[in-house]
Amino acid sequence: MTSSDWLLRVRGLTKIYGQPDADSLANTGPAAATNICPNTGAIVACADISFDLYPGEVLGVVGESGSGKSTLVQLLYFDQEATAGSAHFTALDDGATDLFSLSSQRRRYVRNHLLGMVYQNPRDGLNFNFSAGGNIAEKLIMAGHMHVGNIRQRAGSLLSQTEVPVARMDQTPRNFSGGMQQRVQISKAIANQPPLLFLDEVTSGLDVSVQARVLDLIRQIQSELGISMIVVSHDLGVIRMLTDRTLVLKHGRIVESGLTDQILQDPQHAYTQLLVSSLL
């Protein structure tokens, strides 16, 4: 496989917890209405996920709790080990290498230099023992920046870009509000300008006005930097506002995919219809 026009090509991505048997994949999924294998109790978090992501595109992943949408980005960010499947990323070896075949050192390189992640809970993405500036510095240091003056300048400009008061740069994010913590996390994730950013339920747990500002920020970053993003959310409002294309996940499988507008206007799969009709 070599680079054509896609940025990330995922094929057959599967994650199973526990011991599966030969029929585990057949016995789970939307048709079986479960993701727990009836024979062995293995949990099929996601199975046979295939998609292409194009440069500058924002891909939404939507689904209910336990549908495997967070697992999907955690696999791609190497937080978890994939059971099967491949992912090729044109920023690495022009897309010739499968990300899951990399050594842990190379994975760390990809994570630190080529990817960014914003978790639902700022505690997962930030180290609360370090200051906000220190958290951003960590990402910059991992990417090889060793000049304190430059690091502080970059951290300051990132924080002002994400509307965090620069005066609070040297305080720990523990003392920040939830929205501010999330914005610090976004600053950290985009610190070394990765070509691909994962957003995992970034606005869940924030109140509505703060949600709107965080979404605005993400849209602004996307339009200014042209970063490709995978946005995971259970909230169709977020998906509609941010994404170009959407995957709908249920019981670990893609049940529908297509342009976001199309999916919201004319949902084909019964589950998607349910989702859209439940939208307030």
Partner 1 sequence: MIENTKFQSAYNFAFLDERTKREIRRKILKAVAVPGYQVPYSSPEMPIARGWGTGGLHITLAIIGREDTLKVIDQGSDASVNACSLRQFIERMTGCATTFDSAAASLIQTRHRIPEEILTEQQILVFQVPQPEILRSVERHENKTRLMHAEADYSKLWVSLYEAYVRYGSLMRGAGYPVRVNGRFMMSPSPIPRWDVPNLSGARCLYLFGAGREKRIYAVPPHTTVEPLEFEDVRFRVEDWHGTLCAYSDQGQAFLDEIYEEDSTRKFVVNDSNFLDKLRGGPRPPQRLFQNPQ
In the complex with partner 1, which residue's Cβ is closer, 152 or 269? Answer: 152
* In the complex, minimum distance from the CB of residue 127 to partner 1, in angstroms, rounded to a whole number: 8
Residues making contact with partner 1 (CB under 8 A): 104-105, 108, 127, 130-131, 133-135, 137-138, 141-142, 146-149, 151-152, 170
CB atoms within 10 A of CB 18: 12
In the complex with partner 1, which residue's Cβ is closer, 108 or 219? Answer: 108
Query: By C-alpha distance, which of 77, 89, 139 is closest to 113?
Result: 139
* In the complex, minimum distance from the CB of residue 142 to partner 1, in angstroms, rounded to a whole number: 5
Query: By C-alpha distance, which of 224, 257, 262 is closest to 240?
Result: 262
Tokens of 246: 């959407």
In the complex with partner 1, which residue's Cβ is closer, 3 or 172? Answer: 172
* In the complex, minimum distance from the CB of residue 188 to partner 1, in angstroms, rounded to a whole number: 11
Query: By C-alpha distance, which of 203, 184, 194, 198 is closest to 229?
Result: 198
Is 233 in a helix, a strand, or coil? strand
In the complex with partner 1, which residue's Cβ is closer, 135 or 257? Answer: 135
* In the complex, minimum distance from the CB of residue 134 to partner 1, in angstroms, rounded to a whole number: 5
Bridge partner residues of 248 (DSSP): 62, 256
In the complex with partner 1, which residue's Cβ is closer, 2 or 103? Answer: 103
* In the complex, minimum distance from the CB of residue 143 to partner 1, in angstroms, rounded to a whole number: 9
Query: By C-alpha distance, which of 101, 135, 150 is closest to 1?
Result: 101
